[in-house]
Structure 1
Amino acid sequence: MPVNKGVTGLVLGLAILMAGLGTGVQGEPLNEDKPFAEQFLLLQLSDDQPEKQNMVLSVAANLLQHYGPDSIDIEITTFGPGVALLVNGNSRTELISSLMAQGVRFSVCMNTVETIERSTGRAPDLHPDSVRVQVGVAHILDQVKKGYVLVRP
């Protein structure tokens, strides 16, 4: 039976593409700390309403339980009023620390923090394990470009 080289090439190309899902440009994991992750989620929080904060934290906790902490890479990026979530003394600090212990990253927009400092005379005291990014929205765009799925609950 003759082999159709076009079909063989297409099948080979699809296999290579599927093998590279969840990896960066050069076949490396999107996040070295989560090398076995198959799902990549970026949650945006730009709101200081307690209901929104609770929803974002609940989504992260539910997905960790559903997929298991090794199979999903979750980052919560805060900017604008959402930065309030990561201010020390927030009533959710214990839950945030628990999620961090399971591999969830919390990033905070330093442009927002600097704006708060200019207007109040002091920078907010942030959760010590939060990841500082200079421009929260640019960070979101970069993560989406890498392959993360953006959800804005």
Structure 2
Amino acid sequence: MIARQFAKISVAARAVAVLAAVGILSATVSHAQAQPAATQRARVVIQVSDSDQAKWNLALNNARNIQTDLGAANVDVEIVAYGPGIGMLKMDSPVGGRIDEATTAGVKVIACENTMKGQKLTRADMLNGISYVPAGVVELMSRQQQGWAYIRP
């Protein structure tokens, strides 16, 4: 009985009903995706694997701009250095002052211990205020799996 009544409804009317339902569902889903939970902090991890001073300055600018735009209290920012990028974390770094400013502002700057071992560097060779992880690439992978945004300047 119901099937016969449904069959009597014009094809156009059924199409309109389906499209309306899909439109409402799509709007609901996109709204839910666009609105992060009110208590969720933004999180971003920045990769620096180049020894280029300009790349480091760009990464530090990105970190500062993110904190400025979102509010430092609303975002976690990590800069992970490995490979040739580790050189800018040494005591004689030309961007050492900027790295110190970043860590003071709450940016976590992280050195890869695998790279340090490969370059025969110790923590005594490195800037004060930085953090360490056993493997920089594993830190990047972990953060991405945890939902952190990823940036490579």
Aligned to 2:134: 134
CA deviations on 1:26-84 (whole Å, 9 max, x unpaired) are xxxxxxxxxxxx31110000000111111111111111111121011100000000101
Match of 1:90 among 93, 99, 108: 93
- Structure with bigger gyration radius: 2
CA distance in 1, matches of 2:114, 2:133: 8
User: For 2:37 and 2:105, how far apart are their aligned partners in 1?
Assistant: 26
Question: Are positions 1:68 and 2:38 aligned together?
Answer: no
RMSD: 2.4
Q: Are the structure 2 counterparts of residues 18 and 54 from structure 1 closer, same or farther at C-alpha, using a change threshold of 3 Å?
A: closer
Give the total of aligned pairs: 123
Report 1:1-40 matches (<5 A). Answer: 19=37, 22=40, 38-40=41-43
Where structure 2 has 5 or more consecutive residues not aligned to the other structure, the ranges are: 1-24
CA shift at 1:148, angstroms? 0.8
> Residue 78 of structure 2: SS of its match in structure 1?
strand
TM superposition shift of 1:123: 3.8
How has the CA–CA distance of structure 1 residues 87 and 150 changed in structure 2, closer, same or farther, with 3 Å as cutoff? Answer: same
Q: Are the counterparts in 2 of residues 116 and 123 from structure 1 also a CA contact under 8 Å?
A: no
Inter-partner Cα distance in structure 2 for 1:93 and 1:109: 17
Cα deviation for residue 19 of structure 1 reads 3.8
User: How far off is 1:21 after superposition?
Assistant: 7.0
Which structure features the higher share of helix residues? Answer: 2
Give yes or no for contact 2:53–2:95 (8 Å, CA) kept in 1: no
2:47 aligned partner: 44
* Structure 1 residue 18: Cα displacement: 5.3
- CA distance in structure 1 between the partners assigned to 2:149 and 2:115 by the alignment: 23
User: What CA deviation, in whole Å up to 9, does each residue of 1:107-147 have, x standing for no partner?
Assistant: 11000000001xxxx54711122111011100111111112
Cα separation, 2, equivalents of 1:81 and 1:104: 21
Question: What are structure 1's unaligned runs of at least 5 residues?
Answer: 1-6, 23-37
